[in-house]
């Protein structure tokens, strides 16, 4: 789990600022001390469960988790109901009962607390729990995140899950703000006598720290953008990383799973050429059929040059006419044509850029069953929320539920990701790239079956 790091900034004096409004300070204090009875009396107004210190951004969830301090291996054998001493920096030497902390977190979620609000260190409550090694509290945050995202997916057509953009996460937070009552906080409260409470109405609000996240990249915008191939990366004209060479090992393991034993003569469909990393690996297996769908004009121009591995010479080397082909256009237009022609594939891989999760979900729900051979395997690049551990874990569970709804049994396995050169934004592999879109040292790869039909693998 986490390194269980702790700093002086985790103490109560640092997290509840002197200028914090008294009503917010009172709630944060009760949350910090896991006083559930006291919290219940204060959370009867919509939005109070997600109030924030205007300086530190501390929410009641942050406070309830942070006050536990870092997990100590020495206490790992201590029964959950037994009181343990947390770091004095976090609690001022007060004893902490983990069960009380869980009860406080549970009560806050019941009262509408937002799972992914960030503080002044750009940490969500789940991020704090992960850093402190508080597994049980972290899992509560993941479960709450899953519930929230499933709800918003039903309300908003699943647009909340995208290709892992931190900016998209911020957009989701704004939606959740509206649904969970932050707007109610900004509205003027009316007292029982009918007069407005101006003090409450003018309370200062917390401004989340700005990040280097890009604006949400829409497919139409991306397809019109200028692309640059350089130094092992493909970036658009706004500096967004479309594909990078560090992904090669992930792609290699993906091919190993999609084509067990690298059998020759398989029928392959790949959606999203990019730098051609995975297609080069597919080509080495001498497939009977190798179809690629690519929509960006500059990628297509790059592929058509005489030095390309996937130009006319590659197409002419096919076992039969049309067996090796790059289909030019959006997959939403090409795939229905492939279905009409009765094309069937042994391996399908999906890795597009600039599309929201709804498009991926539509693909594996509506098209994969018709395109995949009875014993075929389907995979996609699972990078949803990969710039933040809590988001990755939440979105992975949401995807699993949707796959189950589509008739899939899914088993997950880890793929190790070497973070050498990926540690810091703007440096190493990220030099010249606007956003560090991957921060995790492992990647979840689910294995699934669709009843007695195809096997599906997701990376």
> What is residue 455's predicted lDDT score, i.e. its pLDDT?
55
**CATH code for the domain of 294:** 3.40.50.150
For residues 195 and 228, state if they share a domain: no
Q: Are 245 and 211 in contact (CB under 8 A)?
A: no
Q: Is residue 169 part of a domain?
A: yes
Q: Are 444 and 412 in contact (CB under 8 A)?
A: yes
DSSP state letter for 216: P
For residues 194 and 224, state if they share a domain: no
**CATH code for the domain of 114:** 1.25.40.20
Q: Is residue 209 part of a domain?
A: no
**Residue 345 in this model has a pLDDT that exceeds 70:** yes
For residues 283 and 318, state if they share a domain: yes
> What is residue 459's predicted lDDT score, i.e. its pLDDT?
56
Q: How far is CA 346 from CA 260, 291, 413, in A?
A: 11, 12, 21
For residues 177 and 272, state if they share a domain: no
For residues 326 and 450, state if they share a domain: yes
Residue 15 belongs to what domain range? 8-201
> What is residue 167's predicted lDDT score, i.e. its pLDDT?
44
For residues 142 and 244, state if they share a domain: no
For residues 112 and 138, state if they share a domain: yes
Q: Is residue 159 part of a domain?
A: yes
Q: Give the sign of the dihedral formed by CA 318, CA 321, CA 323, CA 324.
A: positive
Q: Which of 201, 228, 243 is the last residue of a domain?
A: 201
Q: Measuring CA to CA, which residue among 145, 155, 160 is closest to residue 360?
A: 160
Using pLDDT thresholds of 50, 70 and 90, give the confidence band for residue 282.
Answer: very high
Domain count for the chain: 2
Q: Measuring CA to CA, which residue among 439, 451, 442, 393 is closest to residue 415?
A: 442
Instruction: Taking residues 351-380, report their average pLDDT.
Output: 87
**Residue 265 in this model has a pLDDT that exceeds 90:** yes
Distance CA 293, CA 148 (A): 34
Q: Is residue 115 part of a domain?
A: yes
Using pLDDT thresholds of 50, 70 and 90, give the confidence band for residue 168.
Answer: very low
Q: Which of 201, 235, 250 is the last residue of a domain?
A: 201
Q: How far is CA 20 from CA 10, 13, 44, 50, 403, in A?
A: 17, 11, 20, 14, 45
**Residue 151 in this model has a pLDDT that exceeds 80:** yes
Q: Is residue 214 part of a domain?
A: no
Q: Is residue 213 part of a domain?
A: no
> What is residue 88's predicted lDDT score, i.e. its pLDDT?
42
**Three-state DSSP class for residue 348:** strand
Residue range 199-241, pLDDT digits in tens = 445 677 888 877 655 456 666 777 777 888 877 888 877 777 7
For residues 249 and 391, state if they share a domain: yes
Q: Is residue 207 part of a domain?
A: no
For residues 98 and 194, state if they share a domain: yes
For residues 344 and 372, state if they share a domain: yes
**Which residues, other chains included, contact 99 with Cβ-Cβ below 8 Å and sequence gap of 6+?**
80, 81
**Which residues, other chains included, contact 454 with Cβ-Cβ below 8 Å and sequence gap of 6+?**
368, 369, 372, 373, 374, 375, 376, 377, 378
**Residue 277 in this model has a pLDDT that exceeds 90:** yes
405-219-366 Cα angle (round to 5): 25
Residue range 75-117, pLDDT digits in tens = 544 444 444 444 444 444 455 789 999 999 999 999 999 999 9
Q: Provide the percentage of residues in the chain whose pLDDT is more than 90.
A: 42
Residue range 19-42, pLDDT digits in tens = 999 999 999 999 999 999 999 999
Count of CB atoms situated within 10 Å of the CB of 323: 15
Q: Are 292 and 326 in contact (CB under 8 A)?
A: yes
Q: Which of 140, 173, 201 is the last residue of a domain?
A: 201
Using pLDDT thresholds of 50, 70 and 90, give the confidence band for residue 273.
Answer: very high
For residues 428 and 397, state if they share a domain: yes
For residues 232 and 157, state if they share a domain: no
């Amino acid at each position: 789990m986490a390194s269980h790091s702790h700093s002086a900034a985790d103490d109560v004096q640092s997290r509840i600022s002197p200028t914090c409004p008294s009503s917010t300070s009172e709630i944060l204090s009760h949350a910090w001390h896991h006083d559930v009875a006291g919290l219940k009396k204060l959370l009867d107004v919509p939005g109070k469960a997600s109030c924030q210190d205007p300086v530190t951004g501390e929410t009641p969830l942050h406070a309830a988790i942070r006050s536990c301090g870092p997990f100590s291996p020495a206490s790992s054998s201590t029964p959950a109901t037994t009181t343990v001493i947390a770091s004095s920096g976090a609690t001022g030497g007060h004893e902490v009962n983990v069960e009380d902390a869980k009860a406080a977190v549970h009560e806050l979620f019941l009262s509408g607390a937002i799972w992914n609000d960030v503080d002044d260190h750009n940490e969500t409550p789940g991020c704090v729990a992960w850093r402190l090694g508080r597994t049980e509290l972290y899992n509560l945050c993941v479960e709450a995140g899953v519930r929230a995202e499933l709800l918003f997916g039903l309300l908003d057509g699943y647009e909340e899950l995208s290709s892992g953009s931190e900016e998209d996460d911020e957009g989701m937070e704004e939606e959740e703000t509206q649904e969970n009552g932050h707007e109610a906080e900004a509205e003027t409260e009316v007292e029982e006598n009918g007069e407005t409470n101006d003090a409450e109405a003018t309370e200062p609000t917390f401004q989340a720290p700005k990040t280097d996240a890009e604006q949400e990249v829409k497919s139409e915008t991306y397809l019109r953008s200028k692309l640059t191939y350089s130094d092992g990366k493909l970036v658009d004209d706004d500096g967004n990383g479309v594909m990078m060479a560090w992904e090669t090992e992930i792609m290699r393991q993906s091919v190993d799973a999609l084509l067990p034993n690298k059998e020759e003569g398989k029928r392959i469909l790949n959606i999203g050429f990019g730098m051609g990393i995975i297609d080069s690996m597919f080509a080495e297996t001498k497939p009977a059929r190798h179809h690629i769908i690519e929509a960006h004009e500059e990628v297509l121009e790059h592929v058509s040059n005489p030095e390309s591995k996937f130009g006319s010479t590659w197409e002419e080397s096919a076992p039969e006419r049309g067996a090796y082909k790059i289909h030019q256009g959006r997959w939403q237009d090409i795939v229905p044509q492939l279905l009409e022609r009765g094309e069937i594939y042994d391996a399908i891989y999906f890795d597009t850029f600039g599309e929201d999760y709804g498009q991926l979900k539509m693909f594996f729900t509506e098209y994969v069953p018709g395109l995949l051979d009875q014993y075929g395997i389907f995979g996609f690049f699972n990078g949803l929320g990969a710039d933040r551990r809590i988001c990755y874990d939440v979105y992975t569970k949401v995807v699993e539920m949707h796959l189950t709804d589509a008739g899939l049994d899914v088993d997950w396995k880890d793929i190790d990701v070497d973070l050498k050169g990926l540690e810091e934004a703007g440096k190493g592999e990220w030099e010249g790239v606007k956003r560090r879109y991957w921060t995790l040292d492992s990647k979840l790869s689910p294995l699934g079956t669709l009843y007695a039909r195809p096997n599906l693998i997701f990376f």
